[in-house]
A = this chain, B = another copy of it.
Amino acid sequence: MLSERQKNILKYIVEEYIKTARPISSNAVCEKLECSSATIRNEMVHLENMDLLEKNHFASGRIPSEKGYRYYVDNLMQPKHMTGEDVLKLQRIFENNALDLNDTIKRSIEIVSEITNYTTVVLGNSAKDNCLKKVEIVPLEGNKILTMVITDKGFVEHKTLFLPKNISVEEVRKTVDLINKLLIGTPLDSINEQLEYSVKPVIGKYVRQHELLYNTFYDAFSEITNKEERVHFAGRTNFLKQPEFNDVEKVKELFTKFEDENCVKEIAEDKKGINVYVGSDSELSDDVSIVKTHYNVDGEEGTIAIIGPKRMEYDKVVSLLDYIKSNIGGDYE
């Protein structure tokens, strides 16, 4: 259990370090709290023994440890009011409520990155649990043909195919009709099985060049199913503004993870509320923190995550995310 004074010291150190990125000395603290630097130093030793503070080297000031940030977030942090300007920027996006939810979210995370200088990412749910709504084709000029696969939850995957000369539009239409007749309502994660068991045996009867077409739809279904998550980043380069990422090696490590689907998938969240993961808790890199939340608006689910250095303005970020969450609607979890 921390004394009131210890809490004040820890709070001051965390907030000041977040602002300046420099270790905080006992002198700096004692200018704020009314006691001598020696007293502060004694307390600092206690806080360090509790693993809440760290030193870079023997005679440096203190910086918060991972556990220190954690304690700050859980116990000391106060919600930060958003500035009128920031509210205004976001309001402009939410006003137009007829918009597509994904658009709204994408636009709002652009703003979030702009006003926080952190990186933001949305992970939409995968289409795995969707069912086929229908397949549709639109013949285009030349021998091109637009094919669309549409799921019951509104996923769309489209391809423009160049028809070889030995396949007519009619053949394609027959294939599509067959797929629609036999597969509508099938869950995507078993659709290729179904395609094989129901469609493959009969397609030969109706369609001449059936193999190529069969393979095309097989591929299209695979793609829409395997597109694990729809990922959208904003402000990726913001990390380059942070002094702790002045080292190209660190940037490389992080950016490589951003490009790696498996790492990005890890960011997905399923807990309720707004959750803060500091450093190693983020599962991404010991040098970053992630503030994230899951959303579910009439069945459209996903995760919004704000990624910044551990030295992140947690209070601001949490308020922002809270504001966005309450504005996109949905069950408030």
Contacts and interface: CB of A to CB of B under 8 A. Distances in A.
A219 interface: yes
Chain A binding surface SS class = mixed
Residue with the greatest number of chain B CB neighbours at <10 A, chosen from A136, A142, A158, A297 = A158
A156 B247 CA distance: 42
A246 B248 CA distance: 6
Given A240-B251, A251-B251, A138 B144 contact: no
Interface in A307-328: none
Contacts of A96: 215, 219
A161 B98 contact: yes
A103 to B, nearest CB: 7
Contact of A299 (B142, B150, B152): B142
B161 A100 contact: yes
A216 B150 CA distance: 21
Interface in A121-173: 133-134, 136, 138, 140-144, 146, 148, 150, 152-154, 156, 158-162, 164
Contact of A138 (B100, B133, B159, B259): B133
A142 B298 contact: yes
Interface in A243-274: 245-248, 251-252, 255-256, 259
A99 interface: yes
Contact of A245 (B241, B248, B255): B248
Contact of A101 (B136, B162, B215, B240): B162
A212 interface: yes
B236 A240 contact: no
Contact of A251 (B159, B160, B248, B256): B248
A102 interface: yes
Contact of A153 (B141, B156, B236, B247): B141
Contact of A103 (B101, B144, B152, B159): B159
A300 interface: yes
Contact of A237 (B102, B216, B246, B255): B255
Contact of A154 (B144, B251, B259): B144
A162 B100 CA distance: 7
Contacts of A245: 248
B212 A144 contact: no
Residue with the greatest number of chain B CB neighbours at <10 A, chosen from A98, A140, A162 = A98
A108 to B, nearest CB: 16
Given A140-B154, A142-B298, A252 B241 contact: yes
Nearest to A153: B140
A240 B252 contact: yes
A101 B160 contact: yes
8 contacts: A99-B161, A102-B160, A142-B299, A146-B150, A148-B148, A156-B158, A162-B298, A237-B259
Given A98-B161, A141-B152, A142-B299, 7 more contacts: A98-B215, A101-B162, A140-B153, A142-B298, A146-B150, A236-B259, A237-B255
Q: Identify the 10 closest CB pairs spanning chains A and B, nearest first.
A: A100-B159, A154-B160, A240-B252, A237-B255, A146-B154, A156-B158, A98-B216, A140-B154, A246-B248, A98-B212
